[in-house]
Amino acid sequence: MDNKNIKELKVSAIENGTVIDHIPSGAVFQVIRILKLESFGNMVLFATNLESKKYGKKGIVKVSNKVFAPQELNKIALVAPHASIIEISDYQVKSKKIVEVPDEIRGIVKCFNPNCVTNIEQVSTLFTMVDKEEIRMKCHYCEKITTKKTMEFK
Is 10 part of any domain?
no
pLDDT band at 63 (very low <50, low <70, confident <90, very high): very high
CATH number of the domain where residue 110 is located: 2.30.30.20
For residues 71-89, average pLDDT: 96
Q: Measure Cα distances from 60 to 44, 72, 140 in Å.
A: 10, 16, 33
State whether 73 and 132 are in the same domain. Answer: no
What pLDDT is attached to residue 151?
95
CATH number of the domain where residue 47 is located: 3.30.70.140
For residues 20-40, average pLDDT: 95
| Position 49 pLDDT exceeds 80 | yes
pTM: 0.87
Quote the CA–CA distance of 149 and 76 in Å, as a whole number: 15
State whether 88 and 148 are in the same domain. Answer: no
Among 3-7, 38-42, 49-53, 64-68, the minimum mean pLDDT is found in 3-7
Domain housing 126? 104-153
Is 46 part of any domain?
yes
For residues 125-144, average pLDDT: 97
Residue 146 has phi, psi (to 5 degrees) of: -100, 135
The pLDDT mean for the chain works out to: 91
Question: At which of 81, 98, 115 does a domain end?
Answer: 98
State whether 38 and 75 are in the same domain. Answer: yes
| Position 8 pLDDT exceeds 80 | no
State whether 87 and 116 are in the same domain. Answer: no
What pLDDT is attached to residue 54?
78
State whether 86 and 109 are in the same domain. Answer: no
| Position 1 pLDDT exceeds 50 | no
Question: At which of 78, 98, 118 does a domain end?
Answer: 98
State whether 68 and 125 are in the same domain. Answer: no
What pLDDT is attached to residue 55?
75
* Total domains in the fold of the chain: 2
Cα 146 from chain centroid (whole Å): 17
State whether 35 and 89 are in the same domain. Answer: yes
Q: What is the pLDDT of residues 108-132, one digit of tens each?
A: 999 999 999 999 999 999 999 999 9
